[in-house]
Amino acid sequence: MEDSRGRVTKDGIRIYQDVDFAGMREAGRVAAEILDMVGPLVAPGVTTGSLDDFIREEIERRGVVSATIGYKGYQHASCISVNHVVCHGIPGSKVPGRSNDVLLAGDIINIDVTVIVDGWFGDTSRMYVAGTPKPFALRLINATHEGLMRGIAAVKPGNTFGDIGHAIQAYVEAQRLSVVRDFCGHGLGRVFHAPPNVLHYGRPGSGPKLEEGMIFTIEPMVNLGRPETKVLADDWTAITRDKSLSAQFEHSVGVTATGCEIFTLSPAGKFHPTWG
């Protein structure tokens, strides 16, 4: 299948061109810069609603567009997932198990931002800590970050999507942690969620072959306890069934001739909460 924007594989995965990578580079940079800016705001006593207000205002100030406001009825510029929230935590709503959205000392949170810049989607998330993390929380964060980076290291033409999932799963499970199965990464580009589903677990050699020009996210969610999740009555917030702590990191990447380009690297070098 060929059109003016290039080819789509038999698995429905679009193959992008150099000029498209330039668009993704810009969108990814903007998303990463915004995440760099929120870091210093995360502290005990701060509300998740105020963090989302900052992100929305920063998106407006830059004259770019939030991909999440209005997406399937979602009304916020970020997802903010505290402690045992796996993903899609709603900023400004009660932290599950609490009476408000105030962060407490030792909370670990994921902030996930997706912006649209000149039609291109930049999707990234990171972990932050309010105050000082407990050792087991830092261990979870470190392992989740390392799992993402091992998945990214498997991205090169000739490898498969199963190789990415396997690299993540093998590392995470060797740390006696679990990979969430109920949510996955996704193709993106000029759309938010496109084929394929990028699983964070799998068998080597399984799944579609990676080809130069593919663009997608890798966004593993890792739990201290069991992998099962459930979605709360708000229809968004996903939590661990066993209420164990969960962490996630997300990059948007594009496959190059020899490996991949990460579009959402932190310009300030602050992707991990213990950096910068």
Does 68 participate in binding ligand MF3 (rule CB under 6 A)?
A: yes
Does 123 participate in binding Co ion (rule CB under 5 A)?
A: yes
E strands within 143-245?
Answer: 178-179, 185-187, 194-198, 215-218, 221-223, 229-231, 238-240
Binding residue for ligand MF3, selected from 58, 107, 112, 163, defined by CB under 6 A: 112
β-sheet bridge partners, residue 262: 253
Binding residue for ligand MF3, selected from 22, 71, 205, 211, defined by CB under 6 A: 71
CB of 174 to ligand MF3, least distance (A): 25
Contact of residue 88 among ligand MF3, Co ion, none (CB under 5-8 Å per partner type): ligand MF3
Output 114 or 169, the one with its CB closest to ligand MF3: 114
Output 20 or 112, the one with its CB closest to ligand MF3: 112
Does 79 participate in binding ligand MF3 (rule CB under 6 A)?
A: yes
Contact of residue 275 among ligand MF3, Co ion, none (CB under 5-8 Å per partner type): none
Output 114 or 246, the one with its CB closest to ligand MF3: 114
Q: Which residue has the tokens 């999707």?
A: 123
Q: Peptide bond before 196: cis, by omega within 30 degrees of 0?
A: yes
Phi and psi of 258, rounded to 5°? -115, -5
Does 20 participate in binding ligand MF3 (rule CB under 6 A)?
A: no
What per-residue string of b and e applies to 220-247 under the rule 16 or more CB within 10 Å gives b? bbbbbeebebeeeeeebbbbbeeebbbb
Tokens of 2: 């060929």
Phi and psi of 178, rounded to 5°? -125, 145
Q: How many helices (H) and strands (E) does the chain have?
A: 4, 17
Does 163 participate in binding ligand MF3 (rule CB under 6 A)?
A: no
Does 266 participate in binding ligand MF3 (rule CB under 6 A)?
A: no
Does 52 participate in binding ligand MF3 (rule CB under 6 A)?
A: no
CB of 114 to ligand MF3, least distance (A): 4
Phi and psi of 33, rounded to 5°? -65, -40
The residues near 99 (Cβ < 8 Å, ≥ 6 apart) are none
Does 250 participate in binding ligand MF3 (rule CB under 6 A)?
A: yes
Does 110 participate in binding Co ion (rule CB under 5 A)?
A: no
Residues that bind Co ion (CB under 5 A): 112, 123, 125, 217, 250
Residues that bind ligand MF3 (CB under 6 A): 68, 71-72, 74, 79, 88, 112, 114, 123, 217, 219, 250
